Copies of this chain bind each other. A is one copy, B any other.
Amino acid sequence: MRLLSRTAVIMTLISAATLLTSLRPKTQKVIFFGDSITAQGARPGGYIERIKQALTQKSMANDYDLIGAGIGGNKVYDLYLRMDDDVMAQNPDIVFIYIGVNDVWHKATSGTGTDIDKFEKFYTAIINKLLDKHIRVILVTPAVIGEKNDFTNQQDGDLNAYSQVIRNLAQKFHCGLVDLREIFHNYELKNNPGNKESGILTQDRVHLNDNGNQLVADKMLEALLAK
């Protein structure tokens, strides 16, 4: 009887543990898929680290496993080429796609940007592959190349156009959207009265400073929890 009761106790404990486990939501794997802005976002002080801290403060640290998958210089077709290895192989639950700056910027700096129709094609192919696996997809528009707030930055026309492509894709595929292009523009209108090129949300016109990383973290967290 001692033995039986021991077994019973163990069984009861297992049941309780199982119950607790099932009550606690499964940890969701979140991949941030992008370029150098995301590569830097995974470093201390970066936006991904700031999202982790915010989740810890909300006692939600175990709910999400945040993984940075940013590589410097990446354009949309680079994401497509490496998505099997760097995204699908990890079986994520949620993927943020944060791409577009280099697709626009490299037109001027090395003649190797991406035509807007090709940008849409590759972006669509990435979304389709993710949705096929029932992965939740959140799109992010490219924020800025230059922080002047009156549309006098060289790439403003293209950034507006490529962001519009992304907004349309988010709507078409019912994906989440973090519209950094609009968020940054509104922020600059309020907080960049001197119409500076950098130093408000970026260090160098493109890569985020502390303020920029915090703003991106806030907005991405909002999108992550919005469901």
A residues near B, CB below 8 A?
A: 77-78, 80-81, 106-115, 118, 121-122, 125, 146, 150-161, 164
A145 CA to B162 CA, complexed, in Å: 17
Q: A158-B154, A161-B152 are in contact. Are A118 and B80 (CB under 8 A)?
A: no
Contact at A160–B164, with CB atoms within 8 Å?
no
A111 CB contact (under 8 Å) in B81, B107, B121, B153: B107
Contact at B80–A81, with CB atoms within 8 Å?
yes
Chain B residues with Cβ below 8 Å from A77 are 77, 80-81, 118, 122
- Listed from nearest, the 4 A-B pairs whose CB atoms lie closest are A156-B157, A107-B111, A152-B161, A152-B160
Contact at A78–B118, with CB atoms within 8 Å?
yes
Q: List 8 A-B contacts (CB under 8 A).
A: A80-B81, A106-B111, A109-B109, A111-B113, A146-B157, A150-B160, A152-B164, A156-B160
Q: A152-B160, A161-B154 are in contact. Are A110 and B121 (CB under 8 A)?
A: no
Chain B residues with Cβ below 8 Å from A107 are 108, 110-112
Chain B residues with Cβ below 8 Å from A80 are 77, 80-81
Q: A107-B111, A111-B108 are in contact. Are A81 and B121 (CB under 8 A)?
A: yes
A156 CB contact (under 8 Å) in B78, B106, B113, B151: B151
Chain B residues with Cβ below 8 Å from A113 are 111-112
A153 CA to B150 CA, complexed, in Å: 15
Chain B residues with Cβ below 8 Å from A122 are 77, 81
Chain B residues with Cβ below 8 Å from A161 are 152-154
Contact at B115–A114, with CB atoms within 8 Å?
no
Closest to A163 in B: B152
A157 CB contact (under 8 Å) in B78, B109, B118, B154: B154
